[in-house]
């Protein structure tokens, strides 16, 4: 087996998305209504989380509502890929923050920090805590792809999360689910066998080996731009993928009372809705399920994108108010 190392592509990446020519090409293939809006400019920020320098995209409407939404990307994305969904929410009056998770985008990670699922959960929780304490507003998570599972895990046992909205809700500890979303079931089975004991955690695998990226979207031009994207991690350590399928949430769905919305793309060829519904059924709290009329794994198609925007807004408007945290209160660690 070949060894693949994380050639620090970050060393040749710009410090801001605004300096990237790729983002200009990406904008050209998006639906016009979801392209960057000069009246709602994206502000790029940095947040120190432990030893990480986390890149954030922030969208602030002129008169923000009392709810802020943290956008959570999945294993084949980064925060800027979620900008169209941030724009949907900002136009409805909701401030959004989209972090780049470790290994992806413009977040900087020291070479001796292991990339694991727990680290991703910790980063999302840290962003939630930061925003809750900074603004006093309630914070809701919106997760796309396996970011849906990540949003669930970050909300588990976390009093600072007022709600969770997801496009998929996968139980990644289930071997049959991992086999279904992998490039081939055989690869998932082989990975499970090789991964016992963590002996190969240090191997770096190309993302295209692990995931069927061609199922991200049915739009050939969008897919071409996605495959060119320099900010998607081209490889990740085997240990990250192993931990993703082995790490439990802090509490299980059967004891979670956080309001939940599953709004699933109706034409998702990568993670079809039947993979999400068994997990959705386990959640004990108030919950809603909406299946979009169409929409790929990255649901940018009409009318899915409009249905998604409407569903997210309705959910946010029904959430109960939460008490603002006192200044300096440690929360949701």
Point out the least confidently predicted range of 30-34, 42-46, 237-241. Answer: 237-241
Considering the chain, what is the average pLDDT of its residues? 90
pLDDT at 190: 57
pLDDT, residue 106, reads 96
The pLDDT value given to residue 7: 37
Binning pLDDT at 50, 70 and 90, where does residue 3 land?
very low
CB 234, CB 206: distance < 8 Å = yes
Distance CA 333, CA 131 (A): 13
Do 283 and 292 form a contact (C-beta atoms < 8 A)?
Answer: no
* Whether the predicted pLDDT of 189 surpasses 70: no
Q: How many Å apart are CA 116 and CA 206, to the nearest integer? A: 16
Angstrom distance (rounded) from CA 330 to CA 333: 7
Summarize the confidence of residues 53-81 as an average pLDDT: 96
Please state the rounded mean pLDDT for residues 167-171. 98
Residue 54's pLDDT is: 97
Give me the percent of the chain exceeding a pLDDT of 90: 78
DSSP 272: -
Question: In percent, how much of the chain has pLDDT > 70?
Answer: 89
d(CA 129, CA 197): 33
pLDDT at residue 26 tops 80: yes
pLDDT at 125 over 50: yes
Residue 39 has pLDDT above 90, yes or no: yes
Domains of the chain: 9-318 (3.40.50.1820)
Please answer whether residues 203 and 3 qualify as being in contact, where contact means their C-beta atoms are separated by less than 8 angstroms.
yes
Percent composition of the chain: helix, strand, coil (DSSP 3-state, to 5): 40, 15, 45
Predicted confidence at residue 251, as pLDDT, reads: 98
Check whether 198 has a pLDDT greater than 90: no
Alpha-helical regions (H) of the chain: 21-29, 83-91, 117-135, 147-155, 175-181, 185-194, 207-210, 220-228, 238-244, 273-282, 304-318
Q: Please give the average per-residue pLDDT across 98-120, as a whole number.
A: 96
pLDDT at residue 207, as a whole number: 85
Instruction: Give mean pLDDT, residues 215-243.
Output: 91
pLDDT, position 316:
98
Least confident of 3-7, 35-39, 284-288: 3-7
What is the average per-residue pLDDT within 64-76?
95
Query: Which pLDDT does position 8 carry in this prediction?
Result: 35
pLDDT above 90 for 2 = no
Is the pLDDT assigned to residue 123 strictly greater than 70?
A: yes
């Amino acid at each position: 087996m070949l060894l693949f190392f994380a050639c620090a592509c970050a060393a040749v990446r710009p410090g801001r998305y605004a300096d990237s020519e790729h983002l200009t090409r990406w904008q050209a293939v998006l639906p016009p209504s979801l392209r960057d809006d000069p009246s709602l400019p994206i502000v790029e920020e940095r947040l120190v989380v432990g030893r990480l320098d986390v890149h954030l995209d922030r969208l602030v409407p002129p008169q923000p509502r009392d709810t802020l939404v943290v956008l959570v990307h999945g294993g084949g994305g980064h925060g800027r890929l979620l900008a169209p969904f941030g724009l949907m929410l900002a136009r409805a009056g909701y401030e959004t923050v989209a972090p780049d998770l470790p290994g992806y985008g413009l977040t900087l990670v020291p070479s001796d920090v292991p990339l694991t699922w727990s680290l991703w959960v910790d980063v999302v929780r840290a962003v939630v805590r930061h925003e809750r304490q900074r603004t006093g507003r309630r914070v809701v998570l919106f997760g796309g792809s396996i970011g849906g599972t990540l949003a669930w895990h970050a909300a588990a046992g976390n009093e600072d999360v007022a709600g969770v909205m997801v496009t998929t809700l996968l139980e990644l500890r289930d071997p049959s689910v991992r086999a279904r979303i992998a490039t081939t079931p055989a690869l998932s089975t082989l990975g499970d066998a090789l991964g016992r004991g963590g002996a190969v955690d240090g191997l770096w695998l190309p993302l295209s080996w692990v995931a069927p990226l061609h199922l991200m979207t049915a739009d050939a031009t969008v897919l071409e731009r996605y495959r060119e994207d320099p900010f998607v991690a081209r490889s990740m350590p085997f240990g990250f993928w192993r931990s993703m399928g082995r790490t439990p949430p802090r509490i299980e769905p059967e004891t979670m009372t956080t309001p939940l919305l599953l709004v699933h793309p109706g034409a998702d060829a990568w993670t079809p809705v039947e993979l999400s519904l068994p997990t959705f059924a386990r959640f004990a709290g108030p919950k809603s399920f909406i299946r979009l009329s169409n929409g790929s794994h990255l649901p940018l198609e009409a009318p899915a994108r409009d249905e998604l925007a409407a569903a997210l807004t309705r959910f946010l408007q029904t959430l109960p108010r939460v008490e603002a945290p006192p200044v300096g209160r440690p929360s949701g660690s």
